[in-house]
Amino acid sequence: MGSGHLADWLRFAARMAKPGGRLTLINKTEALPNLLEAMKDRFGAISVTPVHSYAASPAIRVIVTGTKGSRAPLTLRRSVVLHEAGGAFTPYVGRILREGAPLVLQPED
């Protein structure tokens, strides 16, 4: 999705959300500057959670949340790592995929 379409989509999401409503989305890391710009003045309390394929690799995605009308500052959350060195899912991701555990945006392990 081009940056213009992303801005249009976020404008629509802001119109549809009630005050205090939350938005959560996932996108490529390179889209983060455009996401933050499009959310400005619409959503606050923005949190960014980097998602890595492996702990030693750069983030491939970001999970971004925001609250409509909030003025709270941006926070950078601890990363989510999908795979262990051998390729198996990390225990945290394994619990989400195999046991239906909730995606907690501040994982403990």
Give me 86's structure tokens.
């051998």
Residue 79: DSSP 8-state: P
Residues 98 and 88: their CA atoms lie apart, in Å, by: 13
Residue 29: DSSP 8-state: G
Domains of the chain: 3-99 (3.40.50.150)
pLDDT tens track, the chain, 109 positions: 555 688 888 899 999 999 999 999 999 999 999 999 999 989 999 999 999 999 999 999 999 999 999 999 999 999 999 999 999 999 999 999 999 988 876 555 4
Q: Which pLDDT score, from 0 to 100, does residue 2 have?
A: 57
CA torsion through residues 56, 58, 61, 67, sign: positive
Residues 90 and 101: their CA atoms lie apart, in Å, by: 13
